[in-house]
Each structure stands twice: as structure tokens, then as C-alpha cells.
Chains A and B, each alone.
Chain A
Amino acid sequence: MKTGQAPELVTPLAIPRPTVAAARRIPRPGKEIVLSCLLLLLLIMGWEIIVRLRGIPPLIVPAPTVVWESLLTHTRSGFLIRHLGVTLAEILLGFAAGGLFGIGLGMGVALSPLLRGVLHPYVIASQAMPKLALAPIFVMWFGFGLLPKVIITALIAFFPLFENTVTGLNEVDRDARELFRALGASPWQTLRWLRLPNAAPYIVAGLRVAMVLSIVGAVVAEYVGANRGLGALIISSQGMLDTPLMFAVFVVLLVLGVVLYQVVVLLERACLARRYRA
């Protein structure tokens, strides 16, 4: 009986393995990038062709070539760069402030059940409150400058980091906790050698989310009572009926978003290098 069954057991296990390995090898990264670029080119060409054939006015949808021209003109004059600088400052300051505060408070809440109990309802309530709705009152309090936008961006960046810090510090393998107890580790040692390293990937993932939200926060905050920044530029180009400029700002925002996201991803790689090292 047993000897008869053995080959049956071996064969189905042995076959799928090479197939899986082979399937993983097929998509070469170089090929993917080339295809992605081709698709982008195709989409832009399609856009240009449709706009021209249909004769859609630039006020509604400008053709890519028109957007490009506007982008070049306003970049050369330094106009776009100035506004980009303002928005970038708001994003980075808000992200840093909200992030530090989120990580700090998250650590406090994770380490102190008392603090957790006291603050929990407030954190939930502050999260349920749409922070962008506060923009008008912040303008009344803090004026039209950088500060109200930085505050809104910070409020938005706070939550993902707070949440992920708490989760990362608390969701520690039970057996690992028991190991630390058996070794006689102090709470501080457990934090340093077990809970913080355990939280690192959670916190870095929170940074990624917070970065994306910070960009949204800064730009939308500028919609409300700002005279500088990319968001303000979108509003004023609407007023001037300069749709190509608006699209040029969209392109700048797109590039900004991708660049900032990649910076955080690189940071993540550096932080977690030990785990990913082969």
C-alpha cells in the first residue's frame, strides 16, 4: 500500500515548483518600463489627436502640445517654480510636524494604557472631522501665509503615522514578548529591542501614506484664501480662463507627487535595508 502511494505523492509536488519559478522569471523589469512608456506615449498621442480632430477649444481641454508650451513659458519665467517652492515648503513642513507628532503621540499611547484610554475618543473624533473644512477659520486666525496650510497638512499627516505607530508597537508576536519576559528584559529594553524594530515597517508605511495625503492637504488648503502656491495658481488660472496653465500645474503636481513618493520609498529601503538584504 505504502510503496504504491509514494510516487503519486511525489509527482504532483515536484511538477508545479519549476513552473512557479519560471513564471516569476518571465517579466523582466526593463521590458515593463519600456511598455509603460509606450503606453504613456500612446495615451498622449490619442489625447492630441482627439482634441485636434474634434476641435475641442483649449478653454475646455487643451492639447498636450499646448499644455507643454504653457509649461515651458511659465517655467522659463520662474513663475511656476516660485509657486512650486511655496507648496513644497508647506508639504514638507506639514509632513514633518504631523509625522513627528503622530509618531510621538503614538508611542505615548502604545506605552501608556492610561494615556490611551484618555486620548482615544479625541483621536477618533479628530479623525472623523474633515480637516479641510477647517481651512476658512484657519485663514481667519492665521492669515493668508504659510502657517494655516502647514497646520492643515500637519493635521492630515498626523493620523496615518499615529495609527501605524500604535499598531506596530502593539502587534508584537506573543511568544517574542514571552521570550523578553523570560530574559528579564525591562519595559525600556523590550521597547528598544523588540517593539520599535517591530514597528519600523509599519511606521515607514505610514510615512508613505502621510506623504501622499500631505500633498493633497497642502494643495487643497491653498484653494481657500491663498495668493501663492500651486493650489492658488489653479484657482487663479480658473479665474483667468487659462486652462493650459491649469493643466501645466497638474503636470507639476504629478511630477512632485511621484518624486516625493519615491523619496519616501528610498528612505524606507534605507531604514529596512537589514531586513531586505539577501
Chain B
Amino acid sequence: MTAKIEARGIFKVFETPSEPVQALRAVDLSAQPGEFVALVGESGCGKTTLLRILAGLVLPTQGEVWIDGTPLRGPSQHIGMVFQRPVLLPWRTAAENVLLPAQVRGLPLAEASLDARSLLESMGLGDFLDRFPRHLSGGMQQRVAIARALLLQPSILLMDEPFGALDAITREQMHLDLLNVWSARRPTLLFVTHDIAEAVFLADRVVLLSPRPGTVRQVFQVPLRRPRLPDHRFSGEFAAACRDVKHAMQGNGRGQG
């Protein structure tokens, strides 16, 4: 089976005024269709850079990204992206924000409006279609951003610490809602976070990146059954999986010191 998305031998060097910064070195990464992969690593280890390369937003210095076996040449309609901040247009209502990708692609708006509406309804925002972003809570705004990323039914969804700014209670609810839309639509999902528990709870596989330069340190298969339930967080398997990732991450820290 060909991987849905595959990165081979990715190097990324940023030229800065003082000295070149090597952000990524020899990163290999792939995800199967419908797989949920979490990327974890300390701050500054190149997670965002890797995600932007996978989205076709930046070119790697070396290496290549393949989608369904064809090389990626720039932003693609098959890839949806969710950023750490919701990045909603303040002059548009929730529904109009979700509609943006269809407008950009020049798709029939009547049809897309229906999709936008049902997406927002499925995310529990049915009563907030015509609200402006500043009247929505942070969690609601991020739901709108997720709905926008899903509008064109991308086969790949990239998320960069999407829940990092949310409080713990909202975040746990978002986890369940995200797992619901993911299992309903089954995009290949790459999810960046620095929260190990979040990665383990959500993903099929956890990819640990180590910093300076960013490279894949270890890959963990998560042993939890699906559907994931809140109680899984209190299971021994869950704790063990988190501990394994944590130890691998710290081992790296000591090695550096």
C-alpha cells in the first residue's frame, strides 16, 4: 500500500543574518490513509517547520514530500490545515469563514454553504452560524477553523498545536469531537503537539522529534483500542505509553546536557 503522505530525507536550513539555522535533518515520515499520527517534541525542534513543508507552504532545503505517490509542488486542495490560532476573518460570520476555501477554489457557493452549515452543526455550532468570531469562545473559534479545514473534504488534515491555547476542560471535549469527525471522514491526520498525553490519547502512532537539528528520534505505536473514551486516560496502558514517550524525550535532553 502506498503511503497517503510521505516525507523522505527532509533537510531544512534557515538562512539568518547571524548564522544558518538547521531546523530539520534527515526527517523521514509517512502516514497511511486514514491514519492518525501525532508529532511530539520540545519547543523549537522543528514541528511547525515540518508541518509547513508537508503543507507545501515552504520548500525543504533537501528532500521531497509525496502525496499518493506524486511529489508535492505547493499548497494542495487535498490538504486541510489548522493553525495554533483559529485565524478567522473578523469581518465574516462563522459560516462565511468556513465557506472561504470554496470561494477561493471557485466552487458553487450554494452547495458549499450547505456543507459549511452541516459541518458547523456537526461540531455543535448550529446556533452560532451567523455569529462573528469575537462573539465566540476560543474553543468555538477553533471548531470553526477545523470546519473550514474540512470543507473541501481533504484527504489529509494537518494540525499545528490546535488546542494549545485552550483550557484543560475545553481541550478534552475538543479531543472527543476531533476523534468523532476524524472517524466519520477518515482523513489522514498529522497532529503536532508538545503534550504527550494528548498525543497518546488521540493518535495511532506517536512520532517523537528531537531538537537541534530536528530529527525523528523514535516512533511509538499506541496500544489503546478505538473508539477512545475519556476513561482511557486512567488506564495502565495509557500511563505506560505516556511514560515511554516521556522517557525517550528526557533521555534526549540528558544526552544533550
A155-206 residues at the B interface, CB under 8 angstroms: 173, 175-176, 178-185, 189, 193-194, 197, 200
- Check if A175 sits within 8 Å of B85, measured CB to CB: yes
**Which of A175, A182, A193 lies in contact with B55, CB distance below 8 A?**
A182
Report the minimal beta-carbon distance from B27 to chain A, rounded to whole angstroms.
Answer: 20
Report the minimal beta-carbon distance from B206 to chain A, rounded to whole angstroms.
Answer: 25
Contact with A along B38-67 (1 / 0, CB 8 A): 000000000000000001110000000000
Inside 8 A of B83's CB, which chain A residues have their CB?
175, 178-179
Report the minimal beta-carbon distance from B192 to chain A, rounded to whole angstroms.
Answer: 15
Q: Is B109 positioned at the interface, with any CB of A under 8 Å from its CB?
A: no
**Which of A181, A184, A189, A274 lies in contact with B91, CB distance below 8 A?**
A274
**Which of B89, B101, B105 lies in contact with A197, CB distance below 8 A?**
B89
- Check if B132 sits within 8 Å of A179, measured CB to CB: no
Q: Is B136 positioned at the interface, with any CB of A under 8 Å from its CB?
A: no
Chain B residue total in the interface (Cβ 8 A)? 21
**A277-B89 contact in complex given A178-B57, A178-B83, A182-B57, C-beta closer than 8 Å:** no
Report the minimal beta-carbon distance from A147 to chain B, rounded to whole angstroms.
Answer: 40
Main secondary structure of the interface of A (DSSP, over half): helix
Q: Is A275 positioned at the interface, with any CB of B under 8 Å from its CB?
A: yes
**A185-B57 contact in complex given A176-B87, A193-B89, A197-B91, C-beta closer than 8 Å:** no
A185 to B208, CA, bound (A): 33
A138 to B85, CA, bound (A): 54
- Check if B90 sits within 8 Å of A275, measured CB to CB: yes
Closest to A177 in B: B87
Inside 8 A of B164's CB, which chain A residues have their CB?
none
- Check if A277 sits within 8 Å of B132, measured CB to CB: yes
Report which B residues bind A (CB closer than 8 A).
Answer: 55-57, 74-77, 79, 81, 83, 85, 87, 89-91, 100-101, 103-105, 132
Q: List 26 A-B contacts (CB under 8 A).
A: A175-B85, A175-B87, A176-B87, A178-B57, A178-B87, A179-B81, A179-B83, A180-B104, A182-B56, A182-B57, A182-B79, A182-B81, A183-B75, A183-B101, A183-B104, A183-B105, A184-B75, A184-B77, A184-B105, A189-B103, A189-B104, A193-B103, A197-B89, A200-B91, A275-B91, A277-B132
Report which A residues bind B (CB closer than 8 A).
Answer: 173, 175-176, 178-185, 189, 193-194, 197, 200, 274-275, 277
